[in-house]
Amino acid sequence: MTLFRGTFLDTPSDPFAGGRLRTEEDGALLVRDGVIRARGSFADLRRQHPQEEVVDLSGGFVLPGFVDTHVHFPQVRVIGGLGMPLLDWLDQTALPEEARLADTAYAAGVATDFVRGLVGAGTTTALVFGSHFAPAVDTVFAEAARVGLRITSGLVVSDRLIREDLFTDPSRAREESLALAARWHGVGRARYAVTPRFSLSCTEPLLEACGDVLGAVPGAMLTSHVNENVREIATVEELCGCDYVTSYDRHGLVGPGTVLAHNVHPTDPELALLAARGAAVAHCPSSNAALGSGLFPLARHRAHGVRVAMGSDVGAGTGFSLLKEGLGAYVAQQLLGDAGHPLTPTHLFHLATVAGAEALGLGASVGDFSVGRRFDAQWIKPAPSTPLAVGLAHAADPADALAKMFALGTPADVRSVWIDGDLVNAPDPHLVG
Ligand code: GUN
Ligand code: ZN
């Protein structure tokens, strides 16, 4: 057993329903076999467990690991392609890089960069858009397993309107997806996600094949894109003859295990349908800004009772940090004026942790530091004299410290990361001090 000592912050009760930030100053968590067995003040727990090893994380703050509900593995090397709307960016920036993953050795290098990027940003759980190439999807599952990252991922499928070297067909999609699920679903921390790229690039028979795979793999998730860009939406409506959410729903693809990214321009009936199905939406603010997709209507999602969590959407998103995405979520709501949903730092924190865990069906095991949860954690401890160090030194209280983390924090401020109680990133000796 290990006693982790530090100042712990988490949001076990929903701030959207009046819940407040929970703070344990000079606290301790007792962890055995990756699970939190007890929590309380360090003094009390030390008295009760005088023999256990102590990991001292005093100074800085210990947060639950972030949960990124939408991030593209093949796009890590093309982050920063600014200046284009969605469909041009896909053609010119994202898809040429995705085609390079036909080379499995290249894909393995990308997988290494990708997993390092997530863990380095304090993300411990992610719903990962895979590759169009099955061997490349193996590389990301294998790298996540090697490092210990908790991922749900799968084969991306498309059979129209994008570059042809990324096409599959329904029977191949079915076969390759089932083979990948057989290799990875439920193995260690991995799970499978059925992943039609977006209904713009998927014919009805292909979406039907996705439904077959979903039905054949108990506990598999479904992830895709929805209502991101006005030109894209018009094309989908023309091709499918229905609204965007219905284009998935009519193939049985919208349910409690579904996470659809963006939903910047939904209609009210679509929001009502998402709520009725219990599906979740991944809000990806830096991507929405970079591609000029629009401002996310969070208040309308809340009003309809649609579950919302955060995604980095790397590589349209501008980095892996959910601190930056949280700040972006706040900014987007400010820019919406009266139509915006006011967000406190505690809301942002909840969206990046508990809400993500719930969207991924993992709310009983990760997302906060309650007894019984797995110890997935990040230690935010900036180097001396850095902007965040100055901010934290002058924070009025823990909520103010959290605000400063969202305003100023970067992956450089994430000193260490644990998953199931195991350290998954080696501390950088240059940052120790
Ligand atoms: N829609 C279909 N594919 C993509 C993608 O890779 N990124 C984003 N942001 N939207 C998409
Ligand atoms: Zn995306």
Whether the predicted pLDDT of 252 surpasses 90: yes
From the CA of 313, give the closest atom in ligand 1.
Answer: 9
Q: Which residues pair with 419 in a beta bridge?
A: 422
CB of 98 closer than 6 angstroms to any ligand 1 atom: no
Report pLDDT for 433: 41
How would you classify residue 71: left for phi > 0, otherwise alpha for psi between -120 and 50, otherwise beta? Answer: beta
pTM of the model: 0.98
Pick the closest to residue 40 from 31, 29, 52 (CA basis).
29
CB of 198 closer than 6 angstroms to any ligand 1 atom: yes
Q: What does the pLDDT look like over 266-282, one tens digit per residue?
A: 999 999 999 999 999 99
Ligand (nearest to CA of 127): 2
Peptide bond into 278 cis (omega under 30): no
Separation between Cα atoms, residue 30 and residue 52, nearest integer Å: 9
Mutate which of 166, 228, 259, 260 to test ligand 1's pocket (most atoms within 8 Å of Cβ)? Answer: 228
Q: What does the pLDDT look like over 73-92, one tens digit per residue?
A: 999 999 999 999 999 999 99
Report pLDDT for 139: 99
Mean pLDDT rounded to a whole number for the chain: 97
For the segment 158-171, the average pLDDT, to the nearest whole number, is 98
Whether the predicted pLDDT of 207 surpasses 70: yes
70 C-alpha vs ligand 2 centroid, how far in Å?
6
The token pair that represents 201 in the structure block: 């690039």
Separation between Cα atoms, residue 240 and residue 20, nearest integer Å: 44
Domains of the chain by range and CATH? 2-64+367-431 (2.30.40.10), 66-359 (3.20.20.140)
87 C-alpha vs ligand 1 centroid, how far in Å?
8
CB of 295 closer than 6 angstroms to any ligand 1 atom: no
From the CA of 284, give the closest atom in ligand 1.
Answer: 9
Ligand (nearest to CA of 291): 1
Q: What does the pLDDT look like over 286-329, one tens digit per residue?
A: 999 999 999 999 999 999 999 999 999 999 999 999 999 999 99
210 C-alpha vs ligand 2 centroid, how far in Å?
18
ipTM above 0.95, yes or no: yes
388 C-alpha vs ligand 2 centroid, how far in Å?
30
Nearest CA to ligand 1 atom 11: 225
Which secondary structure element, helix H or strand E, spans residue 45, and what is its range? helix 42-48
Q: pLDDT class for 427, splitting at 50, 70, 90?
A: low
Ligand (nearest to CA of 293): 1
Whether the predicted pLDDT of 45 surpasses 60: yes
335 C-alpha vs ligand 2 centroid, how far in Å?
23
- In percent, the amount of the chain with pLDDT more than 90 equals 98
- Dihedral sign of CA atoms 135, 136, 137, 138 in order: positive
Nearest CA to ligand 1 atom 7: 316
CB of 89 closer than 6 angstroms to any ligand 1 atom: no
CB 422 within 8 A of CB 188: no
CB 356 within 8 A of CB 66: yes
CB 298 within 8 A of CB 348: no
CB of 313 closer than 6 angstroms to any ligand 1 atom: yes
Report pLDDT for 425: 87
Separation between Cα atoms, residue 166 and residue 90, nearest integer Å: 12
Whether the predicted pLDDT of 347 surpasses 60: yes
- Dihedral sign of CA atoms 97, 102, 106, 109 in order: positive
Which secondary structure element, helix H or strand E, spans residue 61, and what is its range? strand 61-64
Separation between Cα atoms, residue 389 and residue 181, nearest integer Å: 44
Nearest CA to ligand 1 atom 8: 316
Q: pLDDT class for 426, splitting at 50, 70, 90?
A: low
Q: pLDDT class for 380, splitting at 50, 70, 90?
A: very high
Q: Which letter does DSSP use for residue 50 in this model?
A: T
Separation between Cα atoms, residue 417 and residue 377, nearest integer Å: 6
